Amino acid sequence: MPILLFISLFTLFDFVLLFFVGSHIGLLTTLLLVLGTGFVGLYLVRKEGVSTIARARQRMQAGEIPSKELLTGAALIFGGALLVAPGFLSDALGIACLLPTARQLMLKALKWLGLKTVSNPQYQANTTYQQQHERHNEHHSAHDSERQDGPLEGDFISRDESTRRH
């Protein structure tokens, strides 16, 4: 519920600001500014997106998890969506999502506000896929060696037998 309230108030304030600025500088100038910021933002999304994909591919080829690049990609998508929306406030926030230093500041602000990241100690972002696979195999081989002492026991009931009993 608080996120819906925040989105509603943000949109309302964005339109109020758009109409306020439009009444002072004129309709044509306002439209040109909104369209101009949108096109500049879309250019930045494309430029940053291509470099983010290239970095993610390099990290994956090196056997690392591209977690930072995934967060960057999410910020770029969010920024691009804000740039498509009309309004100066949404354009400003959208462009901030596209600038690397502003993204880092927003991430710090979200952590300060209580954003928690879920992390599994077995799978860490600074380890390679091969290291994680080796840890996984070591963990399961220790448990498997305990189970291999005797035969696997269990009951088997075929479908025909289960229908006969009812």
Q: What is the pLDDT of residue 123?
A: 45
pLDDT tens string 39-54: 888 888 888 888 888 8
Cβ burial, residue 116 (10 Å; 0-12/13-18/19+) = exposed
Mean pLDDT on 62-91: 86
Confidence of residue 125 (pLDDT cuts 50, 70, 90): very low
**What pLDDT does residue 90 have?**
92
Q: Distance of alpha carbon 97 from its chain centroid, rounded?
A: 12
pTM assigned to the model: 0.61
Question: What residues contact 21, with CB distance under 8 A and at least 6 apart?
Answer: 30, 88
Q: Where are the alpha helices (DSSP H) in the chain?
A: 2-25, 27-61, 67-84, 88-98, 100-112, 129-147, 159-165
Largest CA distance in the chain: 84
> For all residues of the chain together, what is the average pLDDT?
78
